[in-house]
Amino acid sequence: MYHPPRLPSPLSRIPNAHWSAPFSRLWILWVRFVRNENRTLYSAHRRLGPIIRVGPNELSINDLESVRTVYQGAFEKPAWYSVFDNYGVPCMFSAHPAVEHSARKRLISHVYSKSYIQSSATASAQARVILFERLLPILEDSVAESQLPHGIDIYSVFMAATMDFIASFIFGLSNGTNFLGDKAYRDHFLEQYKARNDYGYYDQEMPQLTRFCRKLGCFDQPVVWNALVNGLQNEEAKNGQASILYPTALSNLKLSVASELFDHVLAGQETAGLTLTYLSWRLSQSLELQAKLRGELLSLSPNMQLDEDGTPAMPDAKQLDSLPLLHAVLTETLRLHAPIPGAQPRQTPESGCRIGPYRVPGGVRIAALAYTLHRDESVFPEPEKWDPTRWLPSCAGEEDRKRRNKQFWAFSSGGRMCIGSNFAMHGELSIAEVTFVTRSQQESHIVDDDGMEQSDGYTGRPRNEELFLRFEKVVGKQHQPPSTACK
């Protein structure tokens, strides 16, 4: 029988990250399985340039023009994100069709805008309770002599603080969590949360094989749960309405709301907790920088110190926004320790598209990652160095800072960019950092930072998921005046 010659793939002109990439996914699947994707792609981009092929139908990109094409161009998310459905129902983060996604985003984006966060009396009142009644007592207690030698696990404290922040904003203070006040419950939650980390791989990377194996019963299964949920869903499909057995439990509206809010809680808690952990670790390595930051923060009025009548006073959100050193230390932490350093996959539109000099057909998985964008030496010299001065107007030229801002990708970009970036930057991160550095007049020292290197994957956690710091009163030490000295 005659077989027409097979045309070379339109992707064949693109440099291969591995010799097997044009024929098989095995190499990239293995790299992901052993959690080495970010580092491997970083070294491949350095060798081969900004657009590389990592599998027969998969590309990785590392230049701003391609990032703009894909992410500003609203390329759809692939089914890879379905593992982020909650209760079997998509949320904004996991929704595939752009129309469904943008309809959801329109409903809620205003409450996460910078102006809303900065002027919200509710958010500010919630922050006061979380900071003054929960976080500060923990930090102040830790100064007590008896706790000095072993310090406190600040990772656990910040994971609790960020959960309390986001849960209060979403559900109200009285319905939110009190993880700061309830260590046992917090530890239980974090343990459960950690347990799910290993389960995404097969569903995300080999969904068909995984479904097949499930049918064969290769994986452990919740038998009664499956029977009940499938039965109720079938009944709902048959009758066109929720089951009379459980009329509300499976109501689409309720599940949809629950899925959305659960996603915000998870998305908002871990990312911000990781940022605060890495920031406090870096600051604890430089007492001089801590002192400069304390000087800048104490120059605010009010500045977290007690008012004349003895009530604690929160700094003004807009004033906080204008502090160069605070902004620089936060941004540099999000650059070097991006909480989501890994690939954010999208797929090329059916009609195909142009990526750099290449014509790419439809349905190709394509991704950029903060890990590699944030280590581009032409934009961030000595990329592995944590150096906040890169962002300071007094130290770096305007052109350099503009290029760095454009390349900064901790919150992604385009229509699927993080909805909580303002809540994080202008709400919880700044305000928690101010508390950490100023209010209780203490400087932080490292007790045990073993295992702080970030895991390689979609989310970057410290390997040991703990960081022990101790605090010393800065009594008698002079506060440095605000300074933007470069080194």
Residue numbering of the annotated binding site for heme = 418
Q: What residue has token string 């979609």?
A: 458
Residue 201 or residue 246: which is nearer to ligand HEM going by CB? 201
Residue 155 or residue 423: which is nearer to ligand HEM going by CB? 423
SS3 string, 149-166, reads CCCEEHHHHHHHHHHHHH
Min. distance of Cβ 456 from ligand HEM in angstroms? 16
Q: Cβ atoms within 10 A of the Cβ of 409, count?
A: 24
CA proximity to 466, closest of 274, 331, 178? 274
Residue 388 or residue 420: which is nearer to ligand HEM going by CB? 420
Residue 300 or residue 432: which is nearer to ligand HEM going by CB? 432
Q: CA 106, CA 257: separation in Å to the nearest integer?
A: 14
Show binding-site residues.
418
CB 302 within 8 A of CB 314: yes
Min. distance of Cβ 262 from ligand HEM in angstroms? 11
Q: What residue has token string 């699927």?
A: 416
Min. distance of Cβ 71 from ligand HEM in angstroms? 8
Give me the helices (H) in 299-397, please: 317-321, 324-336, 370-373
Pairing state of beta strands 51-55 and 58-61? Answer: antiparallel
Positions touching ligand HEM (CB under 6 A) are 92-93, 105, 166, 263-264, 267-268, 271-272, 275, 339-340, 344, 410-412, 416, 418-420, 423-424
Residue 105 or residue 114: which is nearer to ligand HEM going by CB? 105
- Taking CB atoms, the residue at the shortest distance from ligand HEM is 420
Min. distance of Cβ 459 from ligand HEM in angstroms? 10
Q: CA 134, CA 121: separation in Å to the nearest integer?
A: 19
Residue 283 or residue 419: which is nearer to ligand HEM going by CB? 419
Q: Cβ atoms within 10 A of the Cβ of 4, count?
A: 5
Min. distance of Cβ 204 from ligand HEM in angstroms? 12
Q: CA 326, CA 231: separation in Å to the nearest integer?
A: 54
CB 85 within 8 A of CB 259: yes
The span from the first CA to the last CA of the chain, in angstroms, equals 74
CB 260 within 8 A of CB 254: no
Backbone angles phi, psi at 123, to 5 degrees: -60, -40
Min. distance of Cβ 480 from ligand HEM in angstroms? 28
Residue 159 or residue 395: which is nearer to ligand HEM going by CB? 159
The distance from CA 481 to its chain's CA centroid, rounded to whole angstroms, is: 33
Min. distance of Cβ 88 from ligand HEM in angstroms? 18
Q: CA 331, CA 20: separation in Å to the nearest integer?
A: 38
